[in-house]
Amino acid sequence: MDERSDALVVFQPSGRRGRFPLGTPLLDAARSLGVYVESVCGGRGLCGRCQVSVEEGAFSKHQIVSSVDNLTPFSETEARYRRLRSLPADRRLSCSAKVMGDLVVDVPQDVASHRALVRKRAEGRPIAVDPSTHLVTVTVEEPSMETPRGDADRLIDALVGAEQMVGLSIDMPLLAQVQKTLRAGHWRVTAAIHSAGDSHTVIGLWPGEKARLFGLAVDIGSTTIAAHLCDLGSGRTVASAGTSNPQVRFGEDLMSRVSYILMNPDAVEKLTEAVRGAVGVLIEKVAAEAGIAADEIVEAVFVGNPIMHHLFLGIDPTELGGAPFAMAVSGSVSASARDLGLAINPCARVYVPPLVAGHVGADAAAATLAEGPGRVPPGDGAAAEAVTLLVDIGTNAEIVLGRGERVIACSSPTGPAFEGAEISSGQRAAPGAIERVRIDPATLEPKFKVIGCDLWSDEEGFEEAVAGVGITGVCGSGIVEAIGEMFLAGILTEDGVIDGRLVAQSDRIVPSERTFAYVLHAGLVDLRVTQGDVRAIQLAKAALYAGIKLLMTRLEVEAVDRIRLAGAFGSYIDPKYAMVIGLIPDCPLEQVSAVGNAAGTGARMVLLNKTHRAEIEDLVGRIEKVETALEPAFQGHFVSAMALPNKVDRFPNLSASVPLPLPRTTARGETTGDEGADARASGRPRSRRGARKAAPSDEAAE
Ligand code: FES
């Protein structure tokens, strides 16, 4: 073998290194070493998130000489990106540049991970305020020779007198500050008292009068982390901030992070450090935005899925990686900020709600508290008895179904397709992503909307308006709409096959390997919906739907009355298209609503009102868990749910407002199912396109 057939590549700042055959794209080299380089456009040279720079010089530590000349020359793709978006002189696109010799490569943080939209905002739901910590201002008796009592003891006397409470103590680290604070306030001070049952503790002390205290509600997702700073007096959210979870460096999804831990001895510490570091940055941001000192934050609530929960608490989550998915701790956890190294008041109390099961977390518990079955507007008795489905769609969908007091939950492995991964033109929801799609059923021509541009693609001025963000890919809500519209327009059969016979009719349908693809946008690089993309979405939606069906069987119901879509994806997906592709069961469309970041809302409820803590603990105790992997019926439901919208289930409510195409022959001429059943059950009308495609020319086309 030629001695120059491979080269050593070292990535900074992680220091990960490996040898790669000459010609390997740098992005692939980074991936194979587990170095996180973002690539939202899937390596098409459109998003620019994969930028890297080469460090030049002799690196004795690595025994190599690194030079930009050890990369393939600047490509046409990179030149185009530089022309359109600007690329600093020292940067290369790692999806385009290939290894031609030894390299030390720097992965700059200014372009990575933080550009994705963090769509986890605090919802405006009013919450009755009754937090665990409150403020009391007292005047403390000055010391005297006659009564030799400690300053802290006289502080407690004053507080007990003012509050009429027993069992009051001062948190140990505060003792060292009592004397200074009393004198700074000329014996008038304000204390923050935290109450848990019959135990009361002073956890904060300030000289003079003080009127406001703050708490933090944090939702730690595997992809994004969102923090809300709340005024513990008014309950108002005074600042919010979000960021990508830096743990993505160690693995995009939860299971790859668990694998990383299994293979690297000090990985738990690294992952814990990463998530706590990101939380620290968010704390700084929200405190600065609200103009408060970090020590005014005296309470914090954290929710997350079981793996995020364990890692945040510094617990090894590997037991959660396989059956029986044993949790290190499932009950609620109470700690102080100093236990977790959080840069807020060191005596601040941290509360982590209980986990539901090995892969249904405190985030699902919080979402259920906020929006789950039984949580209805006061006085709405009918709604309390409604069969309510709450779905939080991420890489793992959390599904909660219930009626009245009975609540059942499971999680289903939907995979990352709804987040744009595994989709040929997929990307995360970020500026430049197609998020809305309409297809004219007569001409098969599409129009779309892009995040960061208010105009539809067929509106005047679109080209200029979109120039700032570009058209870089299709995000989760965009791919769901594209597939829904392709089905409604007759481009997709019930089985999800792209109908190749339409090639002759529209240049939007093109051969692609041994199947066909739909060209959604013909630009510098075509954005297509391929047969593989349709399959990826079918698999993901079938997994979700099968989980929902298991819960419906367990609850002994045939239909659901209300559907609540939680999470970032749930907030942006159009319920109509979610139903058209059979992601969710039939239900009156007006009863399907997005509830935003329900986990974050639940976290704020628990932060702002101590009775919600008892409530969430009771709720988690009552939730019946269904383990999808152990249910024999899952497979059958899954197979039926691969069809659009479903092979066996009917969608009468949807059909009443959306003309679904009739089942018809596939591109290969096979029948796609019970042609009359849908019409029998739903009485739905035939669509224009459906009518056209059912013409005798079907045979001729074969
Ligand atoms: Fe390289 Fe998008 S991944 S430009």
pLDDT band at 322 (very low <50, low <70, confident <90, very high): confident
Is residue 43 lining ligand 1, measured as CB closer than 6 Å?
yes
Per-residue model confidence (pLDDT) at position 686: 29
Distance 472 CA to ligand 1 centre (A): 9
Tokens 């997994």 belong to which residue? 543
Please give the number of the atom of ligand 1 that sits closest to the Cα of 81: 4
What is the rounded average pLDDT of the residues 281-308?
95
Please give the number of the atom of ligand 1 that sits closest to the Cα of 48: 4
Is residue 26 lining ligand 1, measured as CB closer than 6 Å?
no
Q: With pLDDT > 70 as the criterion, what percentage of the chain qualifies? A: 88
Question: Which of 488, 478, 491, 480 is closest to 447 using CA atoms?
Answer: 478
- Tell me the whole-structure pTM to 2 decimals: 0.75
Is residue 45 lining ligand 1, measured as CB closer than 6 Å?
yes
Structure tokens belonging to residue 240:
């919010």
Distance 377 CA to ligand 1 centre (A): 47
Whole-angstrom Cα distance, residue 688 to residue 441? 7
632-644: pLDDT as tens digits = 999 999 999 999 9
Distance 610 CA to ligand 1 centre (A): 47
Is residue 271 lining ligand 1, measured as CB closer than 6 Å?
no
Whole-angstrom Cα distance, residue 173 to residue 177? 8
Q: Please tell me the residue having the least CA distance from ligand 1 atom 4.
A: 45
Distance 414 CA to ligand 1 centre (A): 25
Question: Which domains does the chain show, CATH number per domain?
Answer: 6-112 (3.10.20.30), 114-352 (3.30.420.480), 377-415+537-682 (no CATH), 417-474+493-532 (no CATH)
Task: Give, for ligand 1, the residue of 47, 424, 428 to mutate: max count of ligand atoms closer than 8 Å to Cβ.
Answer: 47
Task: Give, for ligand 1, the residue of 26, 36, 50 to mutate: max count of ligand atoms closer than 8 Å to Cβ.
Answer: 50
Residue 427 CB partners (closer than 8 Å, separation 6+): 40, 41, 42, 47, 420, 433, 472, 473, 474, 475
Please give the number of the atom of ligand 1 that sits closest to the Cα of 46: 4
C-alpha separations of 48 from 45, 420, 528 in Å: 6, 17, 20
Per-residue model confidence (pLDDT) at position 655: 94
Q: What is the mean pLDDT of the chain?
A: 86
Q: With pLDDT > 90 as the criterion, what percentage of the chain qualifies? A: 62
Please give the number of the atom of ligand 1 that sits closest to the Cα of 472: 2
Is residue 93 lining ligand 1, measured as CB closer than 6 Å?
yes
What is the rounded average pLDDT of the residues 26-31?
86
211-224: pLDDT as tens digits = 999 999 999 988 78
Please give the number of the atom of ligand 1 that sits closest to the Cα of 43: 3
C-alpha separations of 47 from 35, 51, 117, 183, 461 in Å: 18, 9, 14, 58, 22
Task: Give, for ligand 1, the residue of 26, 28, 37, 44 to mutate: max count of ligand atoms closer than 8 Å to Cβ.
Answer: 44
Is residue 588 lining ligand 1, measured as CB closer than 6 Å?
no
pLDDT band at 34 (very low <50, low <70, confident <90, very high): low
Is residue 221 lining ligand 1, measured as CB closer than 6 Å?
no
The answer to whether 497 touches 533, Cβ cutoff 8 Å, is no
What is the rounded average pLDDT of the residues 343-362?
94
Say yes or no to pLDDT of 492 above 90.
yes
Is residue 525 lining ligand 1, measured as CB closer than 6 Å?
no
Is residue 87 lining ligand 1, measured as CB closer than 6 Å?
no
The answer to whether 515 touches 531, Cβ cutoff 8 Å, is yes
**Strand, coil or helix: what is 12?**
strand
Q: Comparing 88-92, 98-102, 346-350, 550-554, which segment has the lowest mean pLDDT?
A: 88-92
The answer to whether 312 touches 220, Cβ cutoff 8 Å, is yes
Say yes or no to pLDDT of 117 above 50.
no
Give the residue, 310 or 258, on which the prediction is more confident. 310
Is residue 46 lining ligand 1, measured as CB closer than 6 Å?
yes
Residue 336 CB partners (closer than 8 Å, separation 6+): 171, 346, 347, 348, 349, 350
Whole-angstrom Cα distance, residue 65 to residue 84? 33
pLDDT band at 37 (very low <50, low <70, confident <90, very high): confident
Per-residue model confidence (pLDDT) at position 636: 96
Per-residue model confidence (pLDDT) at position 216: 98
Per-residue model confidence (pLDDT) at position 110: 63
Is residue 39 lining ligand 1, measured as CB closer than 6 Å?
yes
Per-residue model confidence (pLDDT) at position 233: 92
The answer to whether 568 touches 598, Cβ cutoff 8 Å, is no
Tokens 């007990």 belong to which residue? 160
Number of H helices, E strands in the chain: 22, 29
415-456: pLDDT as tens digits = 778 877 778 888 777 788 899 999 999 999 999 999 889 999
Distance 497 CA to ligand 1 centre (A): 29
Per-residue model confidence (pLDDT) at position 125: 61
564-593: pLDDT as tens digits = 998 878 878 899 999 999 999 999 999 999
